Structure 1
């Protein structure tokens, strides 16, 4: 399909207003973001292109430079008053044991490596003056199992992004059961969380602090109110054209996220990250 000049001009304006410019490159392909989006729009009709442009206008990129500020906000969002006298704090990447055993490198690992930097420790008051130990895997857990029973301690799981909340709930519940840890001794810190995932975590009794909350890109958008179903169906039609697997329709768990971090979450609309043979994408996961 031929994209009309009005839509291309609007794309240029949106990218400029977001501070992305038309010269910003996607590292993997080496193409400019403007070119990538324009090529995607070439495959869409006008209605689909207008929806994409609206979603681009709301899309957020969180870079490593943003993490310190978001981490500070996340710690401010949660109370550690019950553990002011904790002798030791264990920091743990939010990675499910199945992924640990498969030796998968997850975003929780990447985030925890940054947490070790002292500049991050300084902006987290609950960590001040405490003995800090990092548990990267279940071998480390098992080596500390006996001390878990006697020490005055707490456990802080970290991740940069929470989508549906499934992994967080499953991981924390299994950790609590396996090591007989009281739920009140477990905390979760996330830089960004989807509102629907956050609500599930609250309902599950997880103590969580979040730097910033995100809403669903279509379903929670007041601008699209009254046309939610129509726009959802439009996006599903687009995804069908790009051969998106059912698992990732509207983003994993139908999360409708409009977010890219150091690694783009699979909860984000796949049009922004799902790589296929037809076209390059602006924010690939790998």
Structure 2
């Protein structure tokens, strides 16, 4: 099983190496990178490239590790016992299977995505150590042990909002997705917009990198934001000349797709003001 990208996903060589190394080592692949660099989409494209189904577990700030294994619905069981429902005699009727359980009991190998693990409590990764390492867990209510029929390909994403525990990191193969170089970014754009005119793309990328490289930005625009911006440019049928800015004009057309907070907009407005004063 070798991953080298798909028709819809341009994977740099080092990223393909990381995916294949994690598969060979049977270790979770921990993928970090700034938001919008395609970490979540990577898992979906790995599944597509390897011909495997995918199970997605999107982590929130309130998510507990136990939810990935199973949840016992004691409230429903109590209610049913009061109503005389015969289902109460089998506790298994009140066990809700989590994403890990679904991946472990699948008839075929699957890709398991644990998305944005750093959103959860700091204990969340530690609580999954044994389950991801041994690929099994115990269900106390029924007394059964659930073991993986086929070891899933586990891909874990993080936006680096929290530091992950060392014990967890030791069990993962790590890869940081760097922001794409211009040539790679051009290839990514051509996958999504194959009919875009080269001159328009040249002008858009020039302005995008100028914006991204501006010092003091709170949030640099990402690949996904570039794609949104280009979609708007194409929808408006803008030309390279339309995109070009006048002297002293700093913000690009439709900049709301690229800049996502008022501090960054204010920064460029200040730069524009200073440029006009110097003329």
Larger-gyration structure (1/2) = 2
Q: TM-score, normalised by structure 1?
A: 0.27
Q: TM-score, normalised by structure 2?
A: 0.28
